[in-house]
Amino acid sequence: MKRHSLFPLLISTLVAGLNLTAPPALADGDPEKGRILSEQHCSRCHVIGDFNPFGGIGSTASFQMIAKMKDAVERFQSFYARRPHPAFLTVPGVDKWSKAPAYATEFTITLEQVEDIVAFAKTLKKLPIRRTRTRGR
CB of 20: closest distance to ligand HEC in angstroms? Answer: 23
Residue 87 near residue 102, CB atoms below 8 Å: yes
Exposure string over 44-66, b if 16+ CB within 10 A, otherwise e: ebbbbbeeeeeebeeeebbbbbb
CB of 134: closest distance to ligand HEC in angstroms? Answer: 19
70 binds ligand HEC, rule: CB under 6 A: no
d(CA 60, CA 104): 14
Within residues 89-118, the interface with ligand HEC by CB under 6 A covers 104, 109, 117
130 binds ligand HEC, rule: CB under 6 A: no
42 binds ligand HEC, rule: CB under 6 A: yes
